[in-house]
A and B are shown apart, each in its own frame.
Chain A
Amino acid sequence: MAKKRAVTAKKKAAPKKTIDAQDAQHAVEQFLFRQAEFLDRKRWQDYIDLFSDDGVYWMPASPEQTTWDGTPAIFAEDKNLMTVRMKRVQHPDAWSQRPMWGTNHLVGNVTIEKASPNGDLVARSRFHMMELRRDTTRHFAGSYIHHLKKTPGGYRIKLQRVDMVNAQAPYDYVLQVWV
């Protein structure tokens, strides 16, 4: 009798789980789209606020790297360093930041790689970014891996790993903010 009840319970749980997964998929996608939108609208503080207090934005120098700690990186920034970058970009005397400059991010191919019972997630996605600075167009593309913490206020990024396909190519001018 007890055995039978257990089976029934499992059967009932199955559709609920699917709905949870769909919810999570939707929530993560919305989160990633919102993050990209903050970048393209230059809402830097909102962008930084998506990170948890111990969060790190990391763009490895090469795809083999497994940790940001102690290895060469194109970006390895905690919230404090991100704040330096924001304040610099906003500074009236940041000469190089004056020219017309805009970006457009497209994010897609979102998959949830790992889901913990507490709601924390690891999500993988792909991005393509087009940038215009003065008269020059550049393209950067690659993958994101987001380690997301579930909090009452929504997801917060514990680690965002950004692997650009053209990370090792020569840079004609720099990356001014996060990609």
Chain B
Amino acid sequence: MLHERIPNLAKLVEPDRVHKAVYTDPQLFDLEMERIHERYWIYCGHETQVKKPGDYYTVLVGRQPMIMVRGAEGEVNVLYNRCPHRGSMICGDVHGNTGEFFRCSYHAWTFNHDGKLKTIPMMEAGYAGTRWGRDNPDCNMKQAARVENYRGFVFASLAKDGPSLTEFLGPAKIAFDDICDRAPEGEVEVVPNCFRVIQNSNWKIFLENQLDALHPSVTHQSTGRAAHQVEKMIEKKTGKAPLSYHMLSAFATVTIDKWDNFQTINHPYGHCILTGYMGLRPQDPDTLAYEKTLTQAYGAKRKEEILSTNIHHVLIYPGLSVQSPLQQLRAVRPLGVNKTLTEIWHFRLKGAPEPIYRRSLAYYNLVNSPSTMVNADDLENFWKIQVGLTADGGDWVSFARHYGRDIEKNGVVETAEGMGTSEAPMRNQMKAWAQYMMAEK
């Protein structure tokens, strides 16, 4: 049946190139939603977004409007945002508190926080003798098939079978271990602000860019150079420029040849870890005070392990990018074949001194806010790619850089030394994509 709809699915992905249709074909987009986003684990939010019973956040899982809600017993539920009566959305706001129960604004059906029907007005008079009533599960708000929480990060899968969350994440779960372990209390707390930015491009283009170690010194050079000039100027005047300038100037000072010193480690399901540390462990008094709290919490040996974790960021396929050393996270919500929403959050390390939070905040404000001087150039590229791909000037997108030179061991693909700009992550993602897409069930 599938092969009638999309006859050449198997031919779209080759080891070192993919057909442009995977970014531009609306039919393929629908199939991606069905076979990837509405089947595997999608990040819904952090549990500290919904602290009190009744607190909720609405979220898109694939094409499905969902609600993440804190229940009376403290559990976090994920429900379809739909009234079983006539189909109206239950929550119309992005977030809020629903009180002791959900109440539909159309005919006042009410539901518990786990979606179970509570009351229908005049239930007896209206529904006696019909199939509708409290005993019929079709009268409940439907729950996501599976919900799992890893160290406070809540994921939902809309398929009842499949790998567990930790099986699915595999070694990519280091994203959450790294972000939490850096907190002396072993936990993070969300800072309640979400920046939302729309990309006029296919969702996979963002994922590919996140691990493209070659682009920063080209795409972001203007910002890097501008920041470097001002950084030098401040250093001349006061001796030391704030760390935030380094966050930007690195795009210029790390020249194109040096990015090969990074490494990507590519895992099953399309996940990928980009190593390379941006010099965020200076020996200033703030860092030393922070290191002391970590030593108190974990002991000297474990502290050293935690702080030397070599991660720039982690991509969790198909929709999450985590920058654990700076406690940032971007969730990717596909809106259409050429439109994608990113939701950008940052976190506080519980128990860490305030100046350490300020670093995370500086990065959030400078790089990830809607006034970003960095993503501005990425967004421009994404849009150009999306439009360029509609041209009949060629059918293929190349991922051939350092092809054939990666090191593969037990299904894990590592880039070879000095070849960090290998397009291995794109090859790995598209290999996983083909596996997801070809699996009928």
Contact = CB atoms under 8 A, between A and B. Distances in A.
A75 B371 CA distance: 7
A80 B357 CA distance: 22
B376 A174 contact: yes
B364 interface: yes
11 contacts: A72-B193, A75-B365, A81-B230, A85-B226, A87-B226, A87-B230, A95-B377, A96-B376, A169-B196, A170-B196, A176-B376
A68 B248 CA distance: 20
B221 interface: yes
A129 interface: no
Categorize the interface residue count of chain B.
35 or more
A12 B347 CA distance: 60
A74 B364 contact: no
B365 A175 contact: no
Contacts of A173: 198, 376, 379
A97 B371 CA distance: 13
Contact of B373 (A88, A93, A171, A172): A88
Given A88-B373, A91-B222, A171 B361 contact: no
Interface in B353-373: 354, 357-358, 361, 364-366, 369-373
A59 B365 CA distance: 11
A93 B222 contact: yes
Consensus secondary structure, chain B interface: helix
Shortest 5 CB-CB contacts between residues of A and residues of B: A87-B226, A96-B380, A91-B222, A94-B222, A170-B196
Contacts of A86: 226
A74 B364 CA distance: 9
Contact of A72 (B196, B354, B365): B365
A174 B377 CA distance: 10
Contact of A61 (B193, B376, B379): B193
A94 to B, nearest CB: 4
Interface of A: 59, 61-62, 70-76, 80-81, 83-88, 91-97, 169-176
Contacts of B358: 70
A83 B225 CA distance: 12
A171 B229 contact: no
A171 B222 contact: no
B198 A170 contact: yes
Nearest to B377: A96
Interface of B: 191, 193, 195-198, 200, 219, 221-223, 225-227, 229-230, 233-234, 245, 248, 341, 346, 354, 357-358, 361, 364-366, 369-373, 375-377, 379-381
B371 A83 contact: no
Contacts of B361: 70-72
A58 to B, nearest CB: 11
Contacts of A174: 197, 370-372, 375-376, 379
Nearest to A179: B371
Nearest to B225: A91
A92 B226 CA distance: 11
B379 A87 contact: no
A96 B234 contact: no
Contacts of B245: 84
Given A97-B222, A170-B341, A171-B370, 14 more contacts: A59-B371, A61-B195, A75-B371, A83-B226, A88-B226, A88-B373, A91-B225, A94-B377, A95-B377, A96-B376, A169-B196, A171-B197, A172-B200, A174-B379
